[in-house]
Amino acid sequence: MQTDSSFTFVLFGGTGDLSMRKILPALFEAHRAGGMLADSGKIVAVARHVADRADYIDWVNEHVKPHVSKNGVDETAWASFLDRIEFVKIDLGNPEDFTLLRDALSGRPGIRVFYLATGPSLFVPICHALASVGLNENSRIVLEKPLGYDLKSSNAINDAVGEIFAEEQIYRIDHYLGKEPVQNLLALRFGNVLFEPLWRREWVESIQITIAEELGVEARGDFYDNTGALRDMVQNHLLQLLSIVAMEPPHSMDSDSVRDEKLRVLRALKPIDPRDIGKVAVRGQYHAGGIRGSAVPAYATEPGVKPDSTTETFVALKVEIENWRWAGVPFFLRTGKRLADRVAEIVVNFRAVPHSALGASALRGGANRLVIRLQPNETIRLYCLAKQPGEGMNLASVHLDLAFDRFFREGQMEAYQRLLLDVINGRLALFVRRDEQEAAWRWVEPILNEWAASNKPPKPYAAGTWGPAAASAMLAQHGTCWLEEEN
């Protein structure tokens, strides 16, 4: 991950929540590690709510510093990191202000990265303003989600940005693709002969992908009530994880080889007939309940949410892939807010043995499973059956824990750190290509349209539970259940 390339990292939305919690802490960790960022590399923050660089550094010390290294802050490294930071005060609504940014970047060597940590409504105006002062040349642009509200609006943004930046200059970020266990999933599948022969319909019974949150909508009620869980999580994070799990082996790990295989999965998703949506899609909305002993309000009473809102805060889907590897294997996707635990994981349930001389427990589906935990603790576990000590042949579930921190002394790299380094170094493999994004939108649109046309409200579930009972019933029809374990 080391680079000698000089760069200028321009951060739009420099005082925003994402910059505070993720982007600047990730850049600091890369700086602190040494050798990952060229010494000449600079960070130029763009905002309008602070007066000058001194005020911005004060803001960084107050708001960003608490989010950096879990083991405390190396003050020497922190001071040298602050030396990298510059500031340009710009009103994004005034294109003439971009001449100030052009002048600040004039004569700098190396690549320019423009990170748009702003609302999507500003993506196109910022790109036009950058082009008006000639800053779109020899540059890369990073777009945060959500990129559009539906296929039409997504295409409109991509068309407008694509007129200014070439596709190879555009980095559509999905931070789940930068997580260490996702990288290890690729290593396990394509670096070992053990798993690949089993990674197919003959041996896999079902696959679950869950991204569950304990938090509600927090201060994002206005945004979330116009978005919902299907747009916010399924169209991007969950379908990207599905494509990584189900993809064919690429001939190499270069950007287009990986993304070509992901695209084939997305295009092979079985289209959902609007008449069947009630059978394969469950939407829910949380009501008042309790999280870890504390009472929490219903979604409809959250600030910024309409009292009669029908926006879903929970989605569960049954997905099928129409190709030779996965035909007949159900993929179950689940995401929601105010659920019983904060967890993101992929569960591969293998088929039971065809005949058991050891009793009925060996014939139980899911006795052999691979669990890739993405958060909160990143692990990979392989579950199997073993004999219990003592008399008789009684079987019990045990697991092999792939604890990477025991094998590798260096700490795991955070997702944003990896992805930001990939942008600086021009590596596109972990970023979403436009045709991938279009395929994902095209698949979810029938669900969005049917829910919009339906008069049926989302199914209620109490905060602090695992969602509507209908989500469990959907899996029960296939003889399985959601894996719900304690952290």
Q: What is the CATH number of the domain that holds 270?
A: 3.30.360.10
In a domain, 265, yes or no: yes
109 and 184 in a single domain? The answer is no
For 52-67, the pLDDT digits (tens) are 999 999 999 999 999 9
CB 94 within 8 A of CB 82: no
Residue 255's domain spans which residues?
177-413+431-476
Q: Check: pTM over 0.75? Answer yes or no.
A: yes
Residue 167 is assigned to a structural domain of this protein: no
The C-alpha atoms of residue 320 and residue 298 are separated, in whole angstroms, by: 33
Residues of the chain with pLDDT under 70: 1-4, 71, 361-366, 404-405, 409, 411, 485-487
Please indicate, yes or no, if residue 139 is contained in any of the structural domains: yes
Do 185 and 264 lie in a common domain? yes
Annotation marks residue 237 as catalytic: yes
Burial 180-201 (b: 16+ CB within 10 A, else e): bbbbbbbebbeeeeeeeeebee
261 and 380 part of one domain: yes
* Predicted local distance difference test score (pLDDT) of residue 294: 92
Asked if residue 444 belongs to a domain, the reply is yes
Using alpha carbons, select from 423, 447, 156 the residue that is nearest to residue 273. 447
247/230 Cα distance (integer angstroms): 22
- Six-digit token pair at 21? 């919690």
Residues 313, 449, single domain; the answer is: yes
Residues with Cβ within 8 Å of 16's Cβ and at least 6 positions away in sequence, in order, are: 117, 118
Total structural domains within the chain? 2
Question: What span, in angstroms and rounded, lies between the C-alpha atoms of 312 and 470?
Answer: 14
- Let me know whether 208 and 113 are in one domain: no
- 68: CATH: 3.40.50.720
Q: What span, in angstroms and rounded, lies between the C-alpha atoms of 457 and 460?
A: 9
- Judge if 378 and 440 occupy the same domain: yes
| Residue that finishes a domain, picked among 101, 123, 144 | 144
Strands 204-212 and 343-350: antiparallel
Other CB atoms within a 10 A radius of the CB of residue 1 amount to 15
Whether residue 308 is contained in a domain is answered as yes
> Which DSSP symbol is given to 367?
S
The predicted structure's pLDDT at residue 363: 63
Is 183 domain-assigned? yes
| Cis peptide bond prior to 376, omega within 30° of 0 | yes
Distance CA 387, CA 398 (A): 9
Whether residue 189 sits in one domain with residue 59? no
- Each residue's pLDDT tens digit, 311-320: 999 999 999 9
- Cβ burial, residue 386 (10 Å; 0-12/13-18/19+): exposed
Q: Is residue 421 part of a domain?
A: no
| Tokens coding 307 | 């009292």
* Residue 232 is assigned to a structural domain of this protein: yes
How many angstroms separate the CA atoms of 97 and 90, rounded? 6
The active-site residue out of 49, 67, 128, 237 is: 237
Indicate the residue among 119, 144, 169 that finishes a domain.
144
pLDDT of 1: 43
| Structure confidence at residue 220 (pLDDT) | 83
Same domain, 274 and 403: yes
**pLDDT recorded at residue 242:** 97
Asked if residue 275 and residue 137 are part of one domain, the reply reads no
Same domain assignment for residues 224 and 313: yes
* Residues 384 and 254 reside in one and the same domain: yes
Q: Do 201 and 268 share a structural domain?
A: yes
- Count of other CB atoms within 10 angstroms of residue 472: 15
Per the DSSP assignment, residues forming a β-bridge with 311 are: none
